[in-house]
């Protein structure tokens, strides 16, 4: 699910994409993945400066102490048997992770049939060819490592982005599994270093979910800057799923 690690005051660039950089669309995907998503409640003002103009975080008025409005900052990790490279070819043993914020996008960037939107602020991508293409386009991307797994009903995960931070989830006690109903289409947007956005389309399907509680420890980087650097109890979602029938397009202009 990606992020401008570093100084929070900088914010995303707002320039229009260069006319010399032609919009392009590439395939991508993650197949047969074990995953963990940690949901970190934060104040809306903690994530708003990271979002592109016109985007706002999804806010719950009933979350937090005393019903204080609360947004969420998510971190995730995927350990996949297969991935899909930009040319559509398979990639074995794909590792992936991201930092992102559930958002309400500008009306101009919404699409029929899609109700879930995110701003992806940082990405771990283990496939070197894809990582180099992302970096050349101005997407924040890192090499690194991912481990996700469960034993005797206890989930754990570890993600390390080279130069971008990471996290450890341990002692993840979960409830009973449930199968996904209908497939879920969603869209993510990532601010590009040179201006504009990358737009990710994906379709989540054939998933099995468990919900649980565990101990979360961020390493120095964006997650620690946003949510604090101390170990804490968290709620998380885990299981197995597929994200394919997907593509990423960049650069997409800011809404006018």
Phi, psi of 177 (to 5 degrees): -75, 155
Question: Is 9 within the bounds of a domain?
Answer: no
Domain count, the chain: 1
User: Tell me, what's the pLDDT at 52?
Assistant: 95
- 97 φ/ψ sector (left φ>0, alpha ψ -120 to 50, else beta): beta
Question: Is 159 within the bounds of a domain?
Answer: yes
3-state secondary structure the chain: CCCCCCCCCCCCCCCCCCCCCCCEEEEEEEEEEEEEEEEEEECHHHHHHHCCCCCEECCECCCCHHHCCEEEEEEEEEEEEEEECCCCCEEECCEEEEEEEEEECCHHHCCCCCCEEEEEEEEEECCHHHHHHHHHHCCCCECEEEEEEEECCEEEEEEEECCCEEEEEEEEEECCCEECCCCEEEEEEEECCCCCEEEEEEEEEEEEEEEEEEEEEEECCHHHHHHCCCCEEEEEEEEEEEEEEEEEEEEECCCC
User: Tell me, what's the pLDDT at 255?
Assistant: 65
User: Tell me, what's the pLDDT at 152?
Assistant: 80
Question: Is 74 within the bounds of a domain?
Answer: yes
User: Tell me, what's the pLDDT at 199?
Assistant: 96
- CB-based burial label for 184 (10 Å; 0-12, 13-18, 19+): middle
User: Tell me, what's the pLDDT at 41?
Assistant: 94
Question: Is 8 within the bounds of a domain?
Answer: no
Question: Is 12 within the bounds of a domain?
Answer: no
User: Tell me, what's the pLDDT at 21?
Assistant: 57
C-alpha 204/C-alpha 58 separation (Å) is: 20
User: Tell me, what's the pLDDT at 170?
Assistant: 95
What is the domain extent for residue 231?
Answer: 24-252
User: Tell me, what's the pLDDT at 62?
Assistant: 56
C-alpha 111/C-alpha 39 separation (Å) is: 25
User: Tell me, what's the pLDDT at 164?
Assistant: 86
Q: Is the dihedral of CA 46, 51, 54, 60 positive or negative?
A: negative
For residue 221, give both structure tokens: 């980087």
User: Tell me, what's the pLDDT at 89?
Assistant: 85
Contact assessment for residue 178 and residue 229, using Cβ atoms and an 8 Å cutoff:
no
Q: Is the dihedral of CA 152, 234, 164, 246 positive or negative?
A: positive
For residue 224, give both structure tokens: 């620690």
Nearest to 192 by CA among 142, 138, 136, 141: 138
Distant-in-sequence, close-in-space partners of 136: CB < 8 Å, separation ≥ 6: none
User: Tell me, what's the pLDDT at 66?
Assistant: 62
Give pLDDT tens digits along the chain (256 positions). Answer: 433 222 233 344 444 444 445 789 998 899 999 999 999 999 999 999 999 999 999 998 654 556 688 999 999 999 999 988 877 888 899 999 999 999 999 999 999 999 999 999 999 999 998 899 899 999 999 999 999 988 887 999 999 999 889 999 999 998 888 988 888 999 999 999 988 999 999 999 888 899 999 999 999 999 999 989 999 999 999 999 988 889 999 998 776 5
C-alpha 95/C-alpha 173 separation (Å) is: 23
Question: Is 46 within the bounds of a domain?
Answer: yes
Question: Is 5 within the bounds of a domain?
Answer: no
Question: Is 200 within the bounds of a domain?
Answer: yes
Query: What's the CATH number where 222 sits?
Result: 2.40.400
């Amino acid at each position: 699910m990606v992020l401008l690690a570093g100084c929070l005051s900088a914010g995303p660039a707002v320039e229009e994409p260069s006319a010399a950089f032609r919009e392009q669309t590439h395939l991508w995907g993650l197949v047969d993945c074990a995953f963990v998503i940690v949901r970190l409640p934060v104040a809306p003002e903690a994530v708003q400066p990271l979002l592109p103009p016109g985007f706002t975080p999804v806010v719950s008025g009933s979350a937090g102490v005393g019903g204080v409005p609360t947004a969420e900052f998510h971190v995730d990790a995927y350990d996949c048997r297969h991935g899909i490279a930009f040319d559509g070819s398979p990639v074995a043993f794909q590792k992936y992770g991201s930092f992102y914020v559930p958002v309400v996008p500008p009306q101009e960037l919404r699409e029929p049939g899609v109700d879930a939107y995110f701003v992806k602020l940082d990405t771990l991508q283990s496939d070197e060819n894809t990582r180099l293409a992302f970096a050349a386009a101005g997407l924040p991307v890192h090499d690194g490592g991912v481990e996700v797994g469960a034993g005797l009903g206890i989930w754990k995960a570890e993600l390390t982005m080279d130069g971008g931070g990471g996290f450890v989830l341990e002692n993840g006690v979960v409830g009973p599994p449930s199968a996904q109903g209908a497939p879920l289409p969603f869209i993510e947007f990532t601010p590009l270093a040179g201006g504009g956005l990358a737009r990710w389309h994906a379709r989540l399907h054939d998933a099995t979910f468990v919900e649980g509680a565990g101990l979360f420890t961020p390493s120095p980087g964006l997650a620690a800057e946003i949510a604090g650097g101390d170990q804490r109890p968290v709620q998380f979602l885990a299981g197995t799923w597929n994200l394919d029938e997907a593509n990423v397009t960049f650069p997409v202009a800011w809404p006018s």
